[in-house]
Amino acid sequence: MFDFHEDDDLFGGTAEKKYFDIIFNANRSVVENALSNNLRRMNALESLLLEQLGEDMDMEKLLISYYATNVDNAEADLKNAYIVGMGEILTQAE
């Protein structure tokens, strides 16, 4: 099983820890822009999902169910999202 919290030799720690190191040390306006874009994207994806599944869908129950049945994939996807997020912030900060 994939251990999300396992240290990664490539990053010198977990992807999550390195992501937060970058968030807390990068240019504030770059980080604000990245976080705002992530919230906009999350809001749009949630709206699209509700349109497809119906407004009465309980989003929290759906997410909990997804995580419970897709633990390995969800954790691997999250690690990839941290890595992509780091890349986006670092390229804007250059």
pTM: 0.75
Task: Tell me the C-alpha distance between 6 and 62, whole Å.
Answer: 27
Which pLDDT value is given to residue 93? 72
Domain coordinates in residue numbering, the chain:
15-93
Region 34-45: mean pLDDT is 95
* Structure token digits, residue 60: 């929290």
Answer yes or no: CATH 1.10.3350 is held by domain 15-93.
yes
- Look at residue 7 and tell me whether its pLDDT is greater than 70: no
- Average pLDDT, stretch 5-28? 82
Q: How far apart are CA 76 and CA 16, in angstroms?
A: 12
In the predicted structure, residue 75 carries a pLDDT above the cut 90: yes
